[in-house]
Structure 1
């Protein structure tokens, strides 16, 4: 895949006619990043919740045999995922508050009142402190916190620990809390049991899931030279769309960070969405803040000149995620975040090869429509042939997961 406009100096070319306004803006952006020593510097970035992708192609032994429609040598992303989480917002408009100060105070008071109340099925634990949780092992660590496996009494749970030592971290923590604690009525969102507040941290207690989809394909499918079966990809599509549609219709929220590591699966075959730290409140169906999420899954309109985007940005991210899962590799080839933004903004959208069913390829083509005005929202996606067939199909996802991992959900 060709790359356009890689800047080799920190100065900006201003000759008219050489670059589009977006291209010029990206070159200036890369110059700022270089001056801030983002590339190759000592600035530490948050770790992904999953293992960082390795640079370069995989060995011939581990290369999948399914035909692909992308250049060889890009089986894994050559830039660590922490490099795809740009800490600087390229949009020109800052985040704006969406609720009043009084509403924030009242919301914080309600959240504090429920601290230490853990409800697991019919069992209710009151006044629970962090010291009562017994650590069993680590599950992952990402930009929003550390996730561990713990035991409360005789119950095994997942606990996400998030720091709230500054205003930005606190806002992200309480956004995650606000969404997940109000979404237990959706079977496609990870279930929350409650949370524990301390002066510096928040511990969100959640149901245990088997794995995230990124870890699944990197740790199990690729080494076994296997892929997600098409029916399983169908169930993933249905589950994520239903979760996103629920967030939009019930809470006027869009997720803004759809990617394989934020989609979980359990041994009962349930597929659920997680991580709502940068979820955005919608006003008149448009996002009112500019938090970015992972650059690799940003839609073209979010990389371009600032505009108030809507849920179709999450539709694009879902399309990229499904292509990555279908081929067990990220679909764009690039050497830096700057290259990646150029590719997303200027290159044709990824497509699936003809070895996949036409209804799936058509679904992906709709999700990855670069012209946002032609990209469908959830009400249209649920009417597609791919969604309807996948929703009605009987697929034993849990049994397939046990076969792939060699594990079961039994303790």
Structure 2
């Protein structure tokens, strides 16, 4: 028997509320008693008039004084939430904090060690000559600087080292991943860092732009051959993280994919990357909702690297068409509803894309996670193999885009 539509909507709203409570913690719930349709005129005011001559009500609590004195104030029972698997098997907060402190100490021991072209320089933050700001966000500021011992131009990410454990963990994770990825050509290179008790400056190679900004310069989406070369780099970067560091990125999106003047595509921003345990992620953390896979929206489920593959698929659709498939959503709830309840986005041959590209995106956006392929399967896909070996002038295309958008 079919479940009525109104009941399905209620059930879905309940799932979203449980997801937000588990993911962000409990928050106060505001109930608006006077909701009405905008097409209906409001009724006459139901607010009682104040009778000036009437005696004031007694200023006593509706609870028995004895109960208040004994601290036995009745509380409304909280709704029972499903317990995430991660909360059962996760280490205690104290052990997490101790591990974090140890890792901070290890990274501090490398502060001032800058490696450029396999040459090690012992330097101080004063050796960074600031040129100008490149961008800013919730995690800090990125500025352009010259390293005066070599003249190397760098992008320096400046972030605060606060006492908040979660923020410190994000800084440490980002720095930890890039320091360990120096041998991967598909991950942005880190020269080193300067770290104190209050802030950290991460010295990175200077890239030309991110794909999010570049997409705004392109009128009708990226050409398929350009996307093919980019997809090869992205999948290889994610596969490297899984094989060599046993982590999942968790925030794959165009703004975290960078391009340099040589046409090389690299992945960046690993602040919310997660460690894999038995190939699964057992912790839930925030990311960008528009790129989240359906299984990540269920707080009771663990997930694996295939959550990042979904994000790759959404990013490819966005870059191919010039807009995110969920750009028309007016609220986050509407967006989450569409991700969970609607068929996933698709590219079509009628839009001018090859059947191989359409099939690749369809595989990335397979809603049933058990049927969604992993990195090694995708690296053997016809579309990836084609562009891994193809000679595509990404640098030349980028220069034309910049020139045309500047006129």
After superposition, what is the alpha-carbon deviation per residue over 1:256-290, rounded to whole angstroms, capped at 9, x for unaligned?
00000000000111100000000000000001211
Conserved 8 A contact 1:255-1:276: yes
1:107 aligns with 2:97: no
Conserved 8 A contact 1:22-1:304: no
1:24 aligns with 2:19: no
Q: How has the CA–CA distance of structure 1 residues 319 and 92 changed in structure 2, closer, same or farther, with 3 Å as cutoff? A: farther
Q: How has the CA–CA distance of structure 1 residues 402 and 33 changed in structure 2, closer, same or farther, with 3 Å as cutoff? A: farther
1:347 aligns with 2:342: yes
SS class of match (2:230): helix
1:389 aligns with 2:353: no
Query: Counting helix residues as a fraction of each chain, which structure ranks higher?
Result: 2
Aligned counterpart, 2:320:
326
By relative contact order (CA 8 Å, sep 6+), the higher-ranking structure is 1
After superposition, what is the alpha-carbon deviation per residue over 1:157-202, rounded to whole angstroms, capped at 9, x for unaligned?
0001111212111110001111110001000000000000022111
SS class of match (2:131): strand
Larger-Rg structure: 2
Q: How has the CA–CA distance of structure 1 residues 97 and 121 changed in structure 2, closer, same or farther, with 3 Å as cutoff? A: farther
**CA distance in 1: counterparts of 2:17 and 2:368, whole angstroms:** 23
**CA distance in 2: counterparts of 1:367 and 1:120, whole angstroms:** 37
Conserved 8 A contact 1:195-1:205: yes
Correspondence list, 1:130-279, <5 A: 131-153=126-148, 154-165=151-162, 166-218=164-216, 220-221=217-218, 225-279=219-273
Q: How has the CA–CA distance of structure 1 residues 288 and 371 changed in structure 2, closer, same or farther, with 3 Å as cutoff? A: same
Conserved 8 A contact 1:147-1:160: yes
Conserved 8 A contact 2:284-2:299: no
Does 188-197 or 114-123 show the bigger shift?
114-123
Deviation of 1:378 (Å): 0.6
**CA distance in 2: counterparts of 1:263 and 1:326, whole angstroms:** 15
1:289 aligns with 2:289: no
Q: How has the CA–CA distance of structure 1 residues 283 and 233 changed in structure 2, closer, same or farther, with 3 Å as cutoff? A: same
Conserved 8 A contact 2:19-2:299: no
Structure 2 residue runs without a partner (length 5+): 32-80
SS class of match (2:235): helix
Q: How has the CA–CA distance of structure 1 residues 262 and 34 changed in structure 2, closer, same or farther, with 3 Å as cutoff? A: farther
After superposition, the CA RMSD in angstroms is 2.6
SS class of match (1:228): coil
**CA distance in 2: counterparts of 1:169 and 1:101, whole angstroms:** 12
